[in-house]
Chain A
C-alpha cells in the first residue's frame, strides 16, 4: 500500500517535471518562430515552416551560438539576398541573419600572340552592420582573419596585389584588373581613425603575417598620400584624401607561400570549384602572374571581398609547338564540380574574334552565349555553367579545349599605353622619361599621372618638362610633395590632357644620393627599385557602357564603377625602374683595416722609436776574474774597475 502510494507520488512528480520542461521548451520555440515570420516574405513560407520545425533543435543550438544559422541551400541564399532590400525595410527588427553570398568565375581570353590569359574572380558578399563594432560576429563565408583586420583597424577599403612579371599592354590588351610588378597596397581608412600613420604601420605588419610577405618593409619612406588618384572603389559619401595611403614594394617576390594563404581565404579552399585549378607549379611557370585581394563596401550593410588571380601562359615555354590550349595543359587539372557554397560558378571564354568558328575551335560545345560590355568594347562569351550537371557530360569532368585553325586576325590596339625608362650615364645624374601613348585617332582624354620616387633619387623639379607632339603641354593640375631624406619619398601628381594620336613625354632630371653604409641591402650591386608610375584615365569607349549598378553583371565587367556611358576608367602601370646607386666595395673594410694597421705599425712605429728612443752605451760584460774583483771592491766600498 505504502509502496503503491510512493509509486503514485513519484509518478506525480515526474509528470510535473515533464510539464515544466514542455512549457519551457514551448517558450523557447516561440521566439525563433516569431523571428521567422516578419523577416521572410511570401515565397519563403517554406523556410518559415522549416524554421518552426527546426525550432526545437535550434533552441538547443542557441545555447552556444550567438546568431541563428539557417541551413539554407545556395539557391535559397541567393534568393534571400535578392529579397534582402525589400525584407529589410519591411522588418527592421529581423534577427542578425548572415546572408553571405559567394560567386566564382573564370574568364579565358585567347591572345593574338598565341598565349592565353586566364582570370579567376571570386567574390564573397558579407552582410553586416557598420555600426556594430564590439559584438560577436558570425563568419560564414567571409574569412575571419580579414573580417577581424577590417574591424580592428577601421578599414573602409583595402586593395592589395602581388604580381610577378610585367603586363605587356601592346601584345595582350588591357587586363581586367591592373596591377604593378611586386606588391602594392592602398587603403582607405574610416573617418573615425585619429592617427592614420600609426594604424597604417600596424596594418602592414598584420598583413605581412597573413600573406607571408615582407609587407613590414612598408614605412614612411615608401608610403605616399595621393591627392587625386586612387579614389575609393566602394560606396562613399565624402572623400577626404587624408585617410588614404598608398605604398608599393617593387622588389617583392611572389611564390607559393603567398598563394597558400590566399587560397585559404576562399570558402571552399582549394578543394572544390574553380580553385582546384590553382596548382602553383603551373601558375608560376607563366609570363605574368598576379593575385589580389580587394575589400570594399558596396552598400550600407554589406562588404564585398574580391579575390582575383590573373595569369598569362606562354605558348612556347609550356612545351609542344602546337597552338592549342586546354584546361589540363594550363593547370594540369580538370574540373569535376562547382564549389557547393557558391551561388554561381561559371567559365567565360572570349569568342568575339571567332563568330563562325573559323579561327579556333572550342570544345565541348556549349549553347550558352552572353554579350558583355567590358573595357569599352562589346565582347561575346561562351558560358559554361558549372552548377549544371550537364556541363560535365558523361565523363563527369570538364576539360575545355581551344584548338587554333588559322592564325590571322589582328588585335584592336589599346588606346592608352605607358612606358618609362632612365636615361643618362654614370652614377651621378640621370633623367627619368615617362611616355604616354594615346592611340585614339581623333579624341583626346585626360590622364592623371602619379609618380612616387624614393628619396635617394633627388629630383630637380625645375627641369620637369611635359611635351606632346614636340610642343609644351601644360598640365591642368600639379601636386608635388618634395622628399625628406630618410623620411618621405617624392610625390608628383599631374593631370595632363593627351592630344589624339600622340606621344606625351614627361622628363625630370635627378641626382643620385650616397647612402650610409648600413642602409645598403645585402646585394646592393643588383640595384635599387623605383616603383611603377600609375596612369589613371577615362578612356573613350567604343560602345556605350552600362551605368546601371543594380543589374546583375559578371564579376569581371563590374570591377570599376561606371558613371557615364561614353568612357570607362582604366589604370595603366609602367615598368618599375632599376637604378644603380654609387655602391662601395663591401669586401674592402677588412682589407683596409689590415693594410692600415700594418702601415701604421711599421711606418709610424719605426718613426716613433727613432724619435723617442734614448741610446745608452753599454760596456761589454767583463771576464770572470774582473767580475770577482768587482764584487770584492763593492764590498769594500770602492768604485769598480
Chain B
C-alpha cells in the first residue's frame, strides 16, 4: 500500500514537471533560425571605433553560433588594411592591442561605397535585383529571429551614412513594417550605438520589436579609450561594455534580456542607455540573450535506418561525340600575333556615295532648274 502511494506521488510529480516544461515551451520563442545584420556607416580613419564596434558584435555573434551565411556584414570603410593602420589586417578593441576583433576568418558582404541607405533598406525588405548573390541577401522567413546592429554618427531622428546621406527614424520604422507584412521576421532585436540613439526607435510601430540604444535624445554617446600607437579611439563605451557582457555568454547560457538592459549604466557610459519593449509580445525576462545573439541548433538523434530514394541512373556518354572532339584541332593561341594584328580587318567604314555620283547629281539639278525657269538665268550666274 505504501509502495503504491509513493509510486502514485512520484508519478504525479513527474507529470507536473512535464506540465511545467510544456508551459515553459509555450512561452519560449519558437524561432527556427537566426540572422544578423550588422552595419557600420562611417567612413574615414578617425571613425575606426565604429568599425571596431561592428566587428566586435560580429565576433560575438559568430562565436555564439550564427554562421557567416546568416550574417550580413556591412562596413563602410576599410580600417584593417588602411594605409594608416600600423598593424595591417587587424582591428583592435582593447588598448595595448589585446583583442583583434578582425581575426583571420571574416566575410564582409557590403563594403566601401556599397553601404548606402538604399542598399540597407533593400537588404531589410528583400527587394534586391535578381543578380544579387546569396551572401548579400537577408533570406529570413517568418520563424527567424533577427538582430540588427547599427553604429555611426547620428542625431535626433536620423543616422548618417558615409558622410553623404541620412536615414530617418520614419524610414526605418516603415522598413520594419514592410518586413512584418512580408513575414520576414519572428522577433527582431534592434541595437543602435550613436549619439541620440533613442530617437531612432521612437517611431517603431510593428509588433515583436525590441530596441536598445546607447543614449537618450539630447545626449551624446562617448568613445571609450584611445590607443596611442594606433592614434584613434578604439571603441565606443556602450559597445565596449556590451562586448564585455557578451564575452561571458556561451551558447547554452540562460541570461535574459533584463541583464542586457543593465549593460553600461550611467556611471560607465556617461550617457543613459535606453530600451523599448512595449511592442514585444513576450516578457523580456523570459527572452534569452542567445535567442538573438546565438543560433538555434535542433539536433535529433535517431537509431533507425533510413532508406533513401532509388539509385540515380547514370546516362552513358556518347563515345562518338567524344571522338569528334578529339579530331578538332586545339592549340594554345599566340599571345601577340603581330602580323595578324596589323592586318586585322578595319571596321566597316560608313558608306559614302562615289564622287562621280555627287557631280552628276548637281549637274542634273542644274539642268532641271534651267529647263523649268529658262536659259535667261544662266547669264546671271556665269
Pair from one complex:
yes
From B83-91, B148-156, B193-201, the one touching the partner chain is: B83-91
Residues of the A chain whose Cβ atoms lie less than 8 Å from the Cβ of B134: 209
Residues of the B chain whose Cβ atoms lie less than 8 Å from the Cβ of A561: 332-333, 335
Please tell me if the beta carbons of A549 and B332 are within 8 angstroms of each other in the complex. yes
Please tell me if the beta carbons of B322 and A522 are within 8 angstroms of each other in the complex. no
Residues of B within 8 Å of A, CB-based: how many?
60
Q: How far is the CA of A318 from the CA of B129 in the complex (A)?
A: 45
From B26-34, B311-319, B348-356, the one touching the partner chain is: B311-319
B285 at the A/B interface (Cβ < 8 Å)?
no
Nearest Cβ on chain B to A498's Cβ, whole angstroms: 13
219-234 of chain A: CB within 8 A of chain B = 227-228, 231-234
Contact pick for A495, options B78, B162, B314, B338, CB 8 Å: B338
B248 at the A/B interface (Cβ < 8 Å)?
no
B325 at the A/B interface (Cβ < 8 Å)?
yes
The 8 A CB mask of B79-109 against A (1 = contact, 0 = none) is 0110000011110000000000011111111
Contact pick for A66, options B81, B87, B314, B333, CB 8 Å: B314
Nearest Cβ on chain B to A7's Cβ, whole angstroms: 29
Contact pick for B321, options A131, A206, A209, CB 8 Å: A131
Contact pick for A234, options B131, B332, B336, CB 8 Å: B332
Residues of the B chain whose Cβ atoms lie less than 8 Å from the Cβ of A569: 335-336
Please tell me if the beta carbons of B342 and A477 are within 8 angstroms of each other in the complex. yes
The 8 A CB mask of A528-545 against B (1 = contact, 0 = none) is 000000001110000000
B44 at the A/B interface (Cβ < 8 Å)?
yes
B330 at the A/B interface (Cβ < 8 Å)?
yes
The 8 A CB mask of A297-311 against B (1 = contact, 0 = none) is 001110000000000
Q: Which of A212, A283, A560 has the most CB of B within 10 A?
A: A212
Contact pick for A281, options B44, B90, B114, B330, CB 8 Å: B90
Closest B residue to A493 by CB, please name it: B341
Residues of the B chain whose Cβ atoms lie less than 8 Å from the Cβ of A536: 335-336
Contact pick for B43, options A227, A281, A284, A522, CB 8 Å: A522
The verdict on A64 contacting B131 (CB below 8 Å), with A93-B319, A476-B342 known, is no
Residues of the A chain whose Cβ atoms lie less than 8 Å from the Cβ of B105: 260
Please tell me if the beta carbons of A214 and B112 are within 8 angstroms of each other in the complex. yes
Closest A residue to B334 by CB, please name it: A563
Please tell me if the beta carbons of A93 and B131 are within 8 angstroms of each other in the complex. no
Closest A residue to B137 by CB, please name it: A209
Q: Which of A64, A93, A253, A257 has the most CB of B within 10 A?
A: A257
Residues of the A chain whose Cβ atoms lie less than 8 Å from the Cβ of B78: 253, 255
Residues of the B chain whose Cβ atoms lie less than 8 Å from the Cβ of A280: 89, 104
Residues of the B chain whose Cβ atoms lie less than 8 Å from the Cβ of A446: 336, 338
The 8 A CB mask of B230-261 against A (1 = contact, 0 = none) is 00000000000000000000000000000000
A256 at the A/B interface (Cβ < 8 Å)?
yes
Please tell me if the beta carbons of B325 and A281 are within 8 angstroms of each other in the complex. no
Nearest Cβ on chain A to B68's Cβ, whole angstroms: 9
Please tell me if the beta carbons of B89 and A285 are within 8 angstroms of each other in the complex. yes
B278 at the A/B interface (Cβ < 8 Å)?
no
Please tell me if the beta carbons of B333 and A236 are within 8 angstroms of each other in the complex. yes
Closest B residue to A85 by CB, please name it: B326
Q: How far is the CA of A350 from the CA of B112 in the complex (A)?
A: 39
The 8 A CB mask of B291-318 against A (1 = contact, 0 = none) is 0000000000000000011111011110
Please tell me if the beta carbons of B342 and A284 are within 8 angstroms of each other in the complex. no
Residues of the A chain whose Cβ atoms lie less than 8 Å from the Cβ of B319: 92-93
Residues of the A chain whose Cβ atoms lie less than 8 Å from the Cβ of B309: 64
Contact pick for A205, options B89, B132, B333, CB 8 Å: B132
Residues of the A chain whose Cβ atoms lie less than 8 Å from the Cβ of B113: 214, 217, 521-522
Residues of the A chain whose Cβ atoms lie less than 8 Å from the Cβ of B331: 235-237
Q: How far is the CA of A132 from the CA of B308 in the complex (A)?
A: 26
Q: How far is the CA of A537 from the CA of B341 in the complex (A)?
A: 13
Please tell me if the beta carbons of B89 and A260 are within 8 angstroms of each other in the complex. no
Closest B residue to A560 by CB, please name it: B335
Q: How far is the CA of A120 from the CA of B162 in the complex (A)?
A: 37
Residues of the A chain whose Cβ atoms lie less than 8 Å from the Cβ of B131: 201-202, 205-206
Q: How far is the CA of A531 from the CA of B309 in the complex (A)?
A: 54
Q: How far is the CA of A358 from the CA of B110 in the complex (A)?
A: 52
Residues of the B chain whose Cβ atoms lie less than 8 Å from the Cβ of A93: 316-317, 319
Nearest Cβ on chain A to B36's Cβ, whole angstroms: 16
Please tell me if the beta carbons of A522 and B136 are within 8 angstroms of each other in the complex. no
Task: Provide the main secondary structure of the chain A interface.
Answer: loop
A187 at the A/B interface (Cβ < 8 Å)?
no
Residues of the A chain whose Cβ atoms lie less than 8 Å from the Cβ of B162: 522
Residues of the B chain whose Cβ atoms lie less than 8 Å from the Cβ of A522: 43, 113, 162-164
B372 at the A/B interface (Cβ < 8 Å)?
no
Closest B residue to A235 by CB, please name it: B330
Closest B residue to A280 by CB, please name it: B89
A523 at the A/B interface (Cβ < 8 Å)?
yes
Closest A residue to B318 by CB, please name it: A131
B63 at the A/B interface (Cβ < 8 Å)?
no
Q: How far is the CA of A233 from the CA of B90 in the complex (A)?
A: 37
Q: How far is the CA of A572 from the CA of B379 in the complex (A)?
A: 70
Q: How far is the CA of A537 from the CA of B338 in the complex (A)?
A: 10
Please tell me if the beta carbons of A212 and B108 are within 8 angstroms of each other in the complex. yes
Residues of the A chain whose Cβ atoms lie less than 8 Å from the Cβ of B310: 63
Nearest Cβ on chain B to A317's Cβ, whole angstroms: 10
Q: How far is the CA of A152 from the CA of B65 in the complex (A)?
A: 32
Q: How far is the CA of A62 from the CA of B322 in the complex (A)?
A: 25
Residues of the B chain whose Cβ atoms lie less than 8 Å from the Cβ of A257: 106-108, 111
Please tell me if the beta carbons of B107 and A236 are within 8 angstroms of each other in the complex. no
Contact pick for A283, options B89, B109, B341, B342, CB 8 Å: B89
Q: How far is the CA of A282 from the CA of B338 in the complex (A)?
A: 43
Residues of the B chain whose Cβ atoms lie less than 8 Å from the Cβ of A208: 133, 136
Please tell me if the beta carbons of A209 and B133 are within 8 angstroms of each other in the complex. yes
The verdict on A285 contacting B87 (CB below 8 Å), with A495-B342, A536-B336 known, is yes
Nearest Cβ on chain B to A234's Cβ, whole angstroms: 7
Residues of the B chain whose Cβ atoms lie less than 8 Å from the Cβ of A279: 104
Nearest Cβ on chain B to A546's Cβ, whole angstroms: 13
Contact pick for B312, options A64, A285, A521, CB 8 Å: A64
Nearest Cβ on chain B to A257's Cβ, whole angstroms: 4
Residues of the B chain whose Cβ atoms lie less than 8 Å from the Cβ of A260: 104-107
Residues of the B chain whose Cβ atoms lie less than 8 Å from the Cβ of A598: none
B329 at the A/B interface (Cβ < 8 Å)?
yes
B24 at the A/B interface (Cβ < 8 Å)?
no
Please tell me if the beta carbons of A299 and B330 are within 8 angstroms of each other in the complex. yes
Please tell me if the beta carbons of A209 and B135 are within 8 angstroms of each other in the complex. yes
Please tell me if the beta carbons of B341 and A448 are within 8 angstroms of each other in the complex. yes
Residues of B within 8 A of A (CB): 43-44, 78, 80-81, 87-90, 102-109, 111-114, 129, 131-136, 162-164, 308-312, 314-317, 319, 321-323, 325-326, 328-338, 341-342, 344
A to B CB contacts below 8 Å, 21 in the list: A64-B309, A135-B315, A205-B131, A212-B107, A214-B113, A216-B114, A228-B341, A228-B344, A235-B331, A236-B331, A237-B329, A253-B78, A255-B78, A257-B108, A260-B107, A476-B342, A477-B342, A477-B344, A495-B341, A522-B43, A549-B332
Q: 17 additional contacts, CB 8 Å, given A210-B133, A521-B113?
A: A62-B311, A129-B322, A206-B131, A209-B134, A231-B336, A237-B328, A256-B102, A257-B107, A260-B104, A280-B89, A284-B88, A476-B342, A495-B338, A522-B162, A523-B43, A536-B336, A563-B332
